[in-house]
């Protein structure tokens, strides 16, 4: 889920403001930092669905391995991958890794249940995993975009694949979702003569987008969310 369009501009903002408007991405980055800090030096970490291997920077103390099928985005640079392969048929022996990431990739897998079973297979018993998956997100990386996930669907898939101690945390609620959708609206005012309307559109959409996240505490159940962060362990 690399930055494009208006989100590329948001990535240049100071960290606190960037996390305010790009909450899902900020939550993922925080989760990656915490996950990496929990692993011992030299641990074998598989980034399943690594894309451009942007998560390597979090795991400099570990033995990071990036794998992807390299079909998601023709503009991406896949040369940093250690292996190009289908996640539903991983080319590794059982118990090859001490930890695993699957970051906003599950929606791009035509057989997510099989892929998660493969991920469990290549992990040693008790190994931790970090999964991030979208719930309310626009279609992206067409045509390789197949699913969106509820917390119940994620729990079902993870437990069926052989994971336990599953914890699923929503990345914000209704008001953060609404804020993000307002910012998404800016993409319709770029290109050609539409640029003439960009400043008025930004004046209309950006102020409420910045204010709405402050109301997110009102949504306690957070059934309206951009996505979920999941942690679990390979069953012993």
Query: What is the per-residue pLDDT across 207-236, written as a single tens digit (0 to 9) for each?
Result: 999 999 999 999 999 999 999 999 999 998
Residues contacting residue 129 through CB under 8 Å, at least 6 positions apart? 99, 100, 101, 102, 119, 123, 163, 230, 231, 232, 233, 234
- Cα distances from 85 to residues 3, 109, 110, in angstroms, run 24, 12, 14
Q: What is the CATH number of domain 6-176+219-234?
A: 3.40.50.150
The pLDDT confidence band at residue 19, using thresholds 50, 70 and 90, is confident
Q: CA-to-CA distance for 223 and 202, rounded, in angstroms?
A: 28
What are the structure tokens assigned to 89, written together?
A: 């048929």
pLDDT in tens, 21-37: 789 999 999 999 999 99
Q: E-assigned strands of 55-209?
A: 63-68, 83-84, 99-103, 128-134, 163-170
Residues β-bridged to residue 45: 64, 99
pLDDT in tens, 99-157: 999 999 999 999 999 999 999 999 999 999 999 999 999 999 999 999 999 999 999 99
8 Å CB contact between 136 and 225: yes
Taking each continuous run of H as one helix and of E as one strand, the counts in the chain are: 7, 7
Mean pLDDT of 75-98: 97
């Amino acid at each position: 889920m690399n930055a494009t369009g208006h989100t590329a501009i948001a990535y240049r903002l100071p960290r606190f403001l960037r996390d305010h408007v790009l909450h899902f991405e900020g939550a993922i980055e925080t989760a990656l930092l915490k996950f990496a800090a929990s692993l011992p030096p030299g641990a074998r970490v598989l980034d399943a669905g690594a894309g451009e291997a942007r998560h390597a920077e979090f795991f400099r103390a570990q033995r990071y391995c990036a794998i992807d099928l390299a079909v998601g985005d023709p503009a991406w640079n896949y040369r940093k991958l250690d292996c190009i392969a289908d996640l539903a048929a991983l080319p590794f022996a059982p118990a090859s890794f001490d930890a695993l990431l699957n970051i906003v990739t599950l929606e791009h897998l035509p057989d997510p249940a099989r892929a998660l079973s493969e991920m469990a297979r290549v992990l040693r018993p008790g190994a931790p995993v970090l999964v991030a998956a979208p719930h309310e997100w626009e279609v992206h990386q067409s045509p390789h975009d197949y699913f969106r996930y509820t917390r119940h669907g994620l729990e079902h898939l993870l437990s069926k694949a052989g994971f336990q101690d599953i914890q699923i945390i929503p990345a914000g609620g209704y008001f953060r979702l609404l804020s993000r959708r307002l910012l998404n609206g800016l993409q319709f005012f770029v290109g050609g003569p539409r640029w003439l309307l960009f400043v008025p559109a930004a004046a209309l959409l950006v102020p409420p987008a910045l204010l709405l996240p402050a109301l997110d505490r009102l949504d306690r159940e957070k059934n309206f969310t951009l996505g979920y962060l999941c942690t679990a362990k390979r069953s012993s």
